[in-house]
Amino acid sequence: MFDFQHITRETDLYNLHTHTQFCDGHATMEEFVTEAIDQGFTHLGFTPHSPVSVESPCNMGREDVQPFFDEIERLRTAYGHRIHLYTAMEIDYIGVNDGPANEYFRNLPLDYRIGSVHFIPDIDDPANMVDIDGKFHGFKARMGKNFNGDIEYVVNTFFSQMMAMVEEGGFDIVGHMDKIGFNASQYRDAIDEEPWYDKLVIDLFENIMDHHLTIEINTKAWLQNNRFYPNLKYFGMLKRFNAPVVVNSDAHYPTLLNNGRLEAIRLMKVL
């Protein structure tokens, strides 16, 4: 198993969650590598959005997987003496055996895997998987179109998908575990302060711990929205239970490689 804690003990300058030309990132892998070296990073992982069984402009196709591996090899040859580069994926959980646990992903020669939920079933047409991860404007439109305005369905289903993903396994890091909280709390103010919501997060946390998975503290939205995933209010729980964590900025631009990361690391230390 990949030793994330080895990296986090060694340095604060790592990032194990990045998106490049192989999915919806806005720069090439090589641009990420050179920026990472310039910023003093010693460990960098590439995690394109995995091939999926649903239509998604953000995910890589299966035909892109080998070129992705080839590009990593090329970059390792060119830069491997200056930075550790990791081949990984952010694998979408869609449904039973359609996610990280699937044979296809298990057989890929990846250094590690992030498991994430970005899609949940349409409330009336469960075969239709709907993106709930994007910007609020689009989320709000889909709340009417795909979920009949039922925000509790959306929140409950997001967490039940996360729970099912954890049960099925096949991955190492739980990606942005309560990300639905941001869009949901814009749709219904402070929904993420309600006790039933809190219980969903805590139940998920306990399940993750039972399965000995690493939790990502995702800092992508910190500067823009003042929000970490998991939310800052859960950092104390992570510490109390000595949860294995990695801090990633989920960067889609090389300049955002360290975005919010050092703040999260500092807050974890002082809490």
Interface contacts to Zn ion, rule CB under 5 A: 90, 116, 250
Burial zone of 234 (CB within 10 Å; 0-12 exposed, 13-18 middle, 19+ buried)? buried
CA 49 – CA 32 distance, rounded (Å): 16
Q: Which two structure tokens, joined as six digits, stand for 192?
A: 């993420």
The strand pairing partners of 112, in sequence order, are 88
Angle between helices 151-168 and 195-210 (to 10 degrees): 10
Q: How far is the CB of 93 from Zn ion (least distance, A)?
A: 11
Q: Which residue(s) pair with 87 in the sheet?
A: 46
Interatomic CA distance for residues 111 and 86, integer angstroms? 6
Q: Quick check: 118 and 76 in contact, CB under 8 A?
A: no
Q: How near is the Cβ of 204 to Zn ion at its closest, in Å? A: 16
To the nearest whole angstrom, how small is the minimum distance from the Cβ of residue 140 to Zn ion? 19
CB of 118 to Zn ion, least distance (A): 6
Residue showing tokens 């509790």: 152
Q: Which of 240, 259, 241, 242 has its CA nearest to residue 250?
A: 259
Q: Which is closer to Zn ion, CB of 116 or CB of 185?
A: 116
For helices 65-79 and 29-38, the axis angle rounded to 10 degrees is 30
Residue 56 CB, shortest distance to Zn ion, in Å, is 12
Which of residues 93 and 147 has its CB atom nearest to Zn ion in the complex?
93
Q: Nearer Cβ to Zn ion, position 33 or 180?
A: 180
Residue 54 vs 194, nearer CB to Zn ion? 54
Integer Cα distance of 241 and 209 in angstroms: 9
Tokens 């309560």 locate to 178
Tokens for 52, please give them: 């999926």
Tokens describing residue 81: 């003496």
Nearer to Zn ion, 16 or 72 (CB): 16
Our CB check for Zn ion shows the closer of 163 and 194 to be 163
User: Closest separation between CB of residue 9 and Zn ion, Å?
Assistant: 24
Q: Shortest Cβ distance from residue 6 to Zn ion (Å)? A: 23
Under a CB-based contact definition with an 8 Å cutoff, are residues 115 and 69 in contact? Answer: no
Of 41 and 119, the one with the shorter C-beta distance to Zn ion is 119
